[in-house]
């Protein structure tokens, strides 16, 4: 009786099901400014936690001019093709503006692991204005942000990355939950406060 190796059986099974490669594992990225749970399969972050480092009273600022997004070593992420000629911005989850008082921290925000396919109007509108509010809060408080990326009912882009359905953002002041928001991933109307879902 002839025996077929397990790796060969797995390859045959994947191709018979129309799957060209096994599902990629989720990974955790933990550095000096953020902790990210990342789906290599989705090519998108799932959860992000960071403390706002720079506030509106910070004395020094570094420009983001000349900084480009980069792919972290050994992690399968989205890339430029996923954001080309469409409505999706490379939406920083841990925003560059929260870390622009320190050049090394600012550079870390430009990892593809730290960006999501975010509707350009949301990214440049309510989301950006809320980030400015967080920097104001950080003048007199330790501000911690947790973001959960919603993929329930999501579809993939033509280039393979999953498109988030929405984003939940929770703001903690000095360790205590302060406010929580949910933003659908589309062009929105009104102030960011319209998307408040919980306030303590």
pLDDT at 40 over 60: yes
Residue ranges per structural domain of the chain: 24-199
CA–CA gap between residue 67 and residue 97 (Å, rounded): 13
Predicted pLDDT of residue 58: 85
What value does the mean pLDDT take over residues 112-127? Answer: 98
State residue 22's pLDDT score: 59
Instruction: Over range 2-19, report the average pLDDT.
Output: 42
* Residue 5 banded pLDDT, cuts 50, 70, 90: very low
pLDDT > 50? residue 8: no
Work out the mean pLDDT of the chain and round it to a whole number.
90
Q: Which CATH number fits domain 24-199: 1.20.1270.10, 3.20.20.110, 3.40.50.1360, 3.40.570.10?
A: 3.40.570.10
What pLDDT is recorded for position 9?
A: 40
Beta bridge partners of 180: 170, 198
**Tokens representing 68?**
């480009």
Decide if 160 contacts 82 (C-beta within 8 A). yes
CB 108 within 8 A of CB 32: yes
Helix or strand run (H / E) with residue 106:
helix 103-108
Each residue's pLDDT tens digit, 142-157: 999 999 999 999 999 9
Whether the pLDDT of residue 47 is over 70: the answer is: yes
């Amino acid at each position: 009786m002839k025996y077929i190796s397990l790796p060969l059986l797995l390859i045959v099974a994947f191709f018979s099901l129309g799957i060209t490669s096994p599902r990629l594992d989720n990974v955790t990225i933990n550095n000096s400014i953020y902790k990210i749970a990342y789906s290599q399969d989705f090519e998108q972050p799932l959860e992000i936690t960071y403390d706002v480092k720079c506030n509106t009273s910070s004395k020094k600022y570094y420009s983001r001019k000349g900084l480009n997004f980069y792919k972290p070593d050994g992690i399968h992420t989205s890339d430029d093709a996923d954001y080309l000629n469409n409505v999706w911005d490379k939406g920083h989850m841990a925003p560059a503006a929260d870390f622009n008082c320190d050049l090394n921290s600012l550079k870390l925000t430009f990892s593809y692991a730290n960006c999501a396919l975010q509707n350009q109007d949301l990214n440049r509108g309510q989301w950006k204005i809320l980030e400015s509010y967080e920097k104001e809060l950080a003048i007199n408080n330790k501000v911690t942000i947790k973001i959960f990326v919603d993929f329930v009912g999501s579809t993939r882009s033509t280039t393979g990355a999953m498109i988030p359905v929405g984003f939940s953002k929770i703001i903690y002041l000095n360790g205590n939950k302060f406010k929580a928001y949910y933003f659908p991933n589309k062009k929105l109307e009104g102030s960011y406060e319209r998307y408040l879902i919980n306030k303590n």
